Every structure is written in C-alpha cells, then in structure tokens.
Amino acid sequence: MSSFARLSHAAQLDRLEGVARSVLTEHYGLDGTAVRMDVQQYEDNAVWRATLGRASFVVRLSVRDGRPAHQQRSEMLWLESLATSGAVAVPEPVTTTGGQYVVTVDVPGHDEPATLALLHWLPGTTEPPYTQPGVAQDMGRATAHLHEHAATVPMPGFDRPVWDADTILHSGYALTNPAAQKLLGAEGTAALRKVAELITPLLRESGRDDYGRIHADLHRENMIALPGGGVGIIDFDDCGTGHWLLDIATVLSSIHRIAHKAPGGYADFARAYLAGYTQVRPLPHDFDRLLEPYLLLRDAFVLNFVAQALPVNAGVASWGPGRITGIVENMRAYVEGRPYPGTLL
C-alpha cells in the first residue's frame, strides 16, 4: 500500500472516502456503498455531506493532528446539549450502533491516528447574507445564545483546548516552530513577537466571568442561514475554553475582510451584530478596550493553522501564503501604532 502522505490531494480523498464508507457500514448500520458522498472540505479534516434517501449527514474524518477521541467526545456532548436545548441550531451528533460518538479508524499507509464522527446535516446556506435586513442581528443572537448556554449549562469533564495568550501566542506553532518562522519571514516573526508582548497583559487581565466554552473558529463560513430564518452554527472542531471575545472578534474579523471596502459596510454590520448579541446577553466586560487585542489573537490563531497546514495540504497551500502576507502586514502596522483592522473607532 502506497504511503498516504505521497498521494495527491485527490488520491488522498479517494482513499479516505473508501475508509469512511466502510465505517458507515460497520459502525453506523448504514449502507456505505449506497451513500452519496459530496466533499465539503479537506484540510485537517476530510468532510463530506453524506446522503442516503432523504437523510443527510456530515461525515468528518480527522486525519492530521486531530483532537484525540476523548476530546472529540466532549465536543459531541456539547453539540448534543445545544441541540437538545434548542439554544442555537447546530449539527446533532449521531452515535454508532454501540452508542459511541467517535470511531477510531485505520487509514492504509497513514502513520497518524484517525477518527470519524457522524452528525446530522444542518440544512441552510453557508455564509449568511449579512447585508440583508435582520441577518447581522441574527448572527449576533446566535453567538450570544451559544455563549449563554455555555455560561449557564454546566458540563463537568469538558475536555478541550484552552485558547488564550499562552496557547495561541507564546506556545503557538508560529512562534515555536522554525519552519513556521521561515514562512512568516524574519520581519513577520518579529512583528508577531512584538504583538505578543503588547497584547498579552491585556489578554491576561480579562475577568474570568467572561470565560467559558467557545466555538473558537466562528468565522462567517461556519454560520448557516436557516431555511426558516435565523442563523445556525457548524464546525465545532476547534471548540474549547476561552474568552467570549475571541468568538466575537472572529465573526467581526471575517466580515471585515469582505465588507471594509464598501463605505460604512463593516461599521453597519458590526453595529447590527452587536445589537443582536446584546438582545440576549451583555457584551463582555471592557469590550471597547479588549476587542482590538482579541482581533490580533484571532489572526495569530489563523497564522498557527496556516503555517502548520500549508506544507501538507494542497487546499491550504492555495490561499495560505496570501493570508500570511496580509496578517503580517496588518501586525506590522499595528506595531507601528495604527489601529488593527476590525477595531471599532
């Protein structure tokens, strides 16, 4: 069997699809040979929409530096709790015929552990049309409902990454790995180090009341415009514990990237989004002062992901270098005293 790492992107997906079909048959009681598999993405995870008759599912096969099975179980337990509560629309997990949330699988020729999780498909349209009346408010309400559930529904034993200054900046891949620093360049690495020095005191002083379970990758493509109105949330693969502002900054940053060129476009969205959020719960303490450092922390999170995935994933390689360049330029400007993109002045 040929080495998985040496296969082309398409050939890797073909092999992974074969594994996924077998798991659906063996562990979920579905006819894996009859399922229609439509690729949604392939980065750290291979993700398909699986359709069998009128039923649709998300098949997620984690093959690169994935969360261990016990951490994925925590993710699934949170999703199940959210779905049961109706707090916000999310993909509901499907357990195996033996009642398990996650299946450990063997990918031929692959020397890393792999796991598969199955969830019900959340119908709707990715990237809600944020300029349409009411949609920005819906996005804000969905974010706030997610946080309110996290703040009010205890989940003992929730075992997921902690997303803070230490894990994202000081211990993050971009500042600890020589290959990543080569991608950033000497000036980019220096700018990131200076950013870490400048914003860490602010990030560490945040009140603990504003910490809890967060999505941690809540960009616009992980929000769904639901058929009946409102907004749902998908892709909890990076969920963990952190400050509510990291989720809020992630939404705002993702919209700023596409809206800032239209006069007033970003400011209008941010105003409506935050109004929707505060209809459900108050903004975190010191929001005005802390938003900017959390926008920077979000981009440091992106640098870590891109620098780690770019050498091994053709999909990330297609857009990653440009994203690194843009973030580094913005960080250098911030170090020179300019406001960071997305900051509300």
- Residue pLDDT, tens place only, 296-340: 999 999 999 999 988 877 788 889 999 999 999 999 999 999 999
Q: Say which DSSP state 8 is in.
A: -
CA distance 319 to 69: 29
More confident residue, 235 or 65: 235
- Residues 236/155, Cβ–Cβ less than 8 Å: no
**Mean pLDDT along residues 185-198:** 97
Amino acid sitting at position 264: G
Tell me which residue of 106, 79, 107 sits closest to 95, measured CA to CA.
79
CATH match of 126-335 with 3.40.50.2000: no
Place of tokens 């780690």: 308
- How many CB atoms are located within 10 Å of the residue 317 CB? 14
- List 50's β-bridge partners, or say none: 37, 57
259-285 pLDDT tens trace: 988 999 999 999 999 999 999 999 999
Sheet containing 125-126: which strands, arranged edge to edge?
125-126, 223-225, 231-233
pTM: predicted TM-score of the whole model, two decimal places: 0.95
Q: What is the pLDDT of residues 51-110, one digit of tens each?
A: 999 999 999 999 876 688 899 999 999 999 999 999 999 999 999 999 999 999 999 999
Strands 125-126 and 114-120: unpaired
Per-residue confidence (pLDDT) for residue 65, from 0 to 100: 66
User: Would the pLDDT of 208 be above 80?
Assistant: no
Q: Does domain 4-122 have CATH number 3.40.50.300?
A: no
Which residue, 121, 76, 120, is CA-closest to 236?
Answer: 76
Domain boundaries, the chain: 4-122, 126-335
Contacts (Cβ under 8 Å, ≥6 apart) of 18? none
DSSP 137-154: HHHHHHHHHHHHHHHHS-
Asked whether 202 and 294 are in contact (CB, 8 A), the reply is: no
- Using only C-alpha atoms, what is the Rg of the chain? 20
Report whether 239 contacts 214 (CB < 8 A).
yes
